[in-house]
Structure 1
């Protein structure tokens, strides 16, 4: 029975691409093994994508990107890539902070 990859090494062995997508249009492909180096060999990349999105910043604009997974040879987007496209087209409402005068 085939199982879905979870660790960075399983993603790498399966040939699954990891891309960082931003609303500004910047895209960066990352080696899944980079996440093993930074988060450890048991890091669950499949479930930790939201955590990674919160930690990473777009190299072009500094905004928080979305992590997308997909096979390099596939032309149709995966579910996560579809979510990334949805987020890019429907950005969240800005969070306003109250000004504090001192």
Structure 2
């Protein structure tokens, strides 16, 4: 399964929840990692970072994807070379429901 599609589906579901739940939206803006961890019921990897911004009528944010040829950091190389998996997202994600189903599924949970 394509990880990019799963990521986009999860992102869409989180945005939909934020648009219908003002308390969730404020928590997501102020504390994105802990809010998403609570929503998913799991801890995100330590090296993972999330930035949340709210667009306004006069500001447009463009997100430029990471280069497909991006190099791993020294610590990530050590994890791969040493066979460590602790703190890494496992690749066998569960399929997500259609975006408008109203149900969030944790793709990080087996």
TM-score (norm 2): 0.27
More helix by percentage: 2
**Quick check: which one's strand share is greater?**
1
